């Protein structure tokens, strides 16, 4: 059984004490002190309103830890602004639950799910996130020739053909590029992303969902 380290952040001390007591009864959870939250696997944030002050604490937590290995955050709140959603996700928030509708069993399940890498957003926020991503792609990425993966559109075009087994000359012919341009596109991508070779670049693009 995987042991999930969890920390609880809450402005109201009674709310925090109740959550700590509940989570502490579970053998698969280990509750950490609030001041060591950055070392947790999951951080549970319980508030009535996710205010600018609460969001600042979430940002601080993200800065204190490595985003790749730092804690995932579960927010339990009745009031969460849709405009803060992208920022929250960038800081490691993987689940947002309505406080009034979340009992003890749901709270434990959300923490365990986050510890297992599962994300959960209410339908309203899922729709808001999709709209924000589409807006970012339309207004920011596409005008600059980028995709959601962070790869330029022509990098994706080249890698797609590399993945299909084409060589430099064939790729250049299909895309109406010079061979030098194809080589420069691949070299620039591999240098920027720390990739070892073309196969590594293709694997990277596949994992990112770019091709």
Q: Is-above-0.85 flag for pTM?
A: no
Q: What is the CATH number of domain 4-121?
A: 3.40.50.2300
Q: What is the CATH number of domain 143-207?
A: 1.10.10.10
Q: What angle do CA 208, 96, 57 make, to 5 degrees?
A: 90
- 47 has a pLDDT exceeding 90: yes
The CB density around residue 26, as the number of other CB atoms within 10 Å, is: 14
- Per-residue pLDDT band for 134 (boundaries 50, 70, 90) equals low
Q: Which two tokens stand for residue 6?
A: 């969890």
3-class DSSP state of 124: helix
d(CA 116, CA 40): 13
User: How much is the pLDDT for 108?
Assistant: 93
Q: What integer is the mean pLDDT of 147-158?
A: 79
Strand partners, 10: 46
Domain ranges of the chain: 4-121, 143-207
- 120 has a pLDDT exceeding 80: no
4-121 and 143-207 agree in CATH topology: no
> Comparing 46 with 164, which gets the higher pLDDT?
46
User: How much is the pLDDT for 142?
Assistant: 64
């Amino acid at each position: 059984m995987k042991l999930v380290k969890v920390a609880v952040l809450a402005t109201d001390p009674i709310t925090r004490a109740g959550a700590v007591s509940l989570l502490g009864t579970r053998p698969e959870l280990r509750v950490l002190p609030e001041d060591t939250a950055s070392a947790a696997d999951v951080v549970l944030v319980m508030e009535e309103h996710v205010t600018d002050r609460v969001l600042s604490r979430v940002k601080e937590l993200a800065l204190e830890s490595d985003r790749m290995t730092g804690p995932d955050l579960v927010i339990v709140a009745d009031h969460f602004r849709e405009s803060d959603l992208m920022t929250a996700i960038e800081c490691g928030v993987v689940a947002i639950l309505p406080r009034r509708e979340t009992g003890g069993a749901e709270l434990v399940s959300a923490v365990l799910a986050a510890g297992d890498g599962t994300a959960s957003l209410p339908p309203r926020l899922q729709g808001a996130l999709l709209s924000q991503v589409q807006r970012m792609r339309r207004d920011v990425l596409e005008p600059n020739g980028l995709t959601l993966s962070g790869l330029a559109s022509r990098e994706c075009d080249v890698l797609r053909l590399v993945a299909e087994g084409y060589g430099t000359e064939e790729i250049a012919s299909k895309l109406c590029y010079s061979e030098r341009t194809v080589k420069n596109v691949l070299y620039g991508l591999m240098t920027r992303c720390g990739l070892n070779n073309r196969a590594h670049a293709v694997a990277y693009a596949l994992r990112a969902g770019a091709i």
